[in-house]
Copies of this chain bind each other. A is one copy, B any other.
Amino acid sequence: MANTKKNKPKVVIIGGGFGGLEAAKRLKNNSLEVTLIDRKNHHTFQPLLYQVATAVLSPGEIASPIRRILYRAKNVEVVLGEAMKIDTERKFVRLQDDSEIPFDYLIVAAGARHSYFGNDDWEESAPGLKTVEDALEIRRRVLLAFELAEREAILTGEHEPLSFVVVGGGATGVELAGAIAGIARNALAHDFKAIDTQNAQVTLYEGADRILNSFSPNLSERAKKDLEKLGVTVHLNSFVTDIRPSEVKVGDQWVHTSVAVWATGVSASPLGKDLEAEVDKSGRVLVEKDLSVKKHDNIFVIGDMARFEQENGELVPGVAPAAIQMAKTASRNILNDINGKPREEFKYWDKGSMATIGKKKAIVEAGRIQMTGFLAWLAWLFVHVITLIGFRNKLSVLGDWFWAYLTRERSARLITGDSEELEEALKFIEAKPHFAPFQKSKSKKQLT
């Protein structure tokens, strides 16, 4: 086996997200040696991360071990490690322990994180949502806020009002805000006895004049109304200009918040800078029509890291279907090279967009087709369940959703973290300044 392998071209894929995984699958059992590098041992189904953050799903239900997904791909090796540097001349990827992985072809699919527009210190007070760890951190903060209010009410008879702030009215922000409102109104309502969780305020701030602005304006308007029915206060044309612990500055005014979540801004992986190609202000790499980079036709960039302008002048959006389609083109172009065929150009097929609002509503838009309400939610559910990678996960996620739907129970409602971390968290939240504009709410119960 070692002999035959020596002549096979080596393809390295950086990233086990939608793009990287699809590329590995497309290249499997071909006459190639493939190495996939990821920092995590699992692929994360990012579209459902907000459900982990709001304690509907467990991490294991939206994440699958990469090895398990690829175990039938005999020519694909998986390496747990962080790609720190791409050497385009000597053709290798350097990992964090300085080990070097050589390549003939490279597919860079390292994705993007949220961007704080240069204010990285905001992250501690308003975490974003890109990884399982992010989701668990947000879940911990949200659940702890309720726990601390309950404790305060038991001990003192009153409590700081609960106020959740979501910054950004894209799909993630809308889904998070809807889900937090859902927790407060339904799932937790019976569990807490000294506080009325239904009094919790959920506020969404969006800088533009409408939320979900990748959709048609009438759908944005409908989504806003649906959110408001769930109890979410939506502020449009509202820029968050500063963040500190327990407070968010909107325009000129500081607003108290129990928990703030950041759901806006995109910053592509810094690996893009190693490719001697032009990058835009979000760090995305300008790619050629075949998805390779200008000076290195053996290096492809796909997914959230790639900036690809379509013929109509629109950019391909940073969504899972786009990453998967790019992976197909990039991997086909590698095989075309090997088979002596010409490369093909990338064409994005927009399958439409969907966003869910709370537990029973969504908006869907595909070309001229628009759907809203419960029917749209069913469509959303169907699409997400069938695309969830891994058979087991599908059944389990469907089971959990169905259960949550029937009983309004939150099955994954654990606060984890060791006791020192909890101590820290308690101290941090207890130390928050009481903010004047909000009156203390009366608790339901008076302690004697």
Contacts and interface: CB of A to CB of B under 8 A. Distances in A.
B155 A59 contact: no
Contacts of A41: 143, 147, 413-415
Contacts of A423: 82, 96
A147 B40 CA distance: 10
A132 B422 CA distance: 14
A82 to B, nearest CB: 7
A58 interface: yes
A132 B416 contact: yes
A415 B136 CA distance: 13
A404 to B, nearest CB: 10
B101 A155 contact: yes
A255 interface: no
Contacts of A412: 60
B68 A147 contact: no
A145 to B, nearest CB: 11
Interface of A: 1-2, 5-6, 35, 39-42, 58-61, 63, 65, 67-68, 71, 74, 77-82, 96-97, 99, 101, 131-133, 136, 143-144, 147-148, 150-151, 154-155, 190-194, 392, 396, 399, 403, 407, 409-419, 422-423, 426-427, 430, 445-446, 448
A412 B409 CA distance: 21
A148 B80 contact: yes
A426 to B, nearest CB: 7
Contacts of A35: 154
Nearest to A72: B190
Contacts of A144: 80
Given A81-B151, A192-B67, A430 B143 contact: no
Contacts of A59: 58, 414, 416
B67 A191 contact: yes
Contacts of A392: 403, 407, 409, 411
Contact of A77 (B60, B81, B154): B154
A60 B150 CA distance: 23
Contacts of A430: 97
Given A77-B193, A79-B150, A392-B403, A448 B413 contact: no
Given A65-B191, A99-B155, 12 more contacts: A1-B445, A6-B448, A39-B422, A41-B414, A58-B59, A58-B60, A59-B414, A60-B412, A71-B190, A81-B426, A82-B422, A392-B407
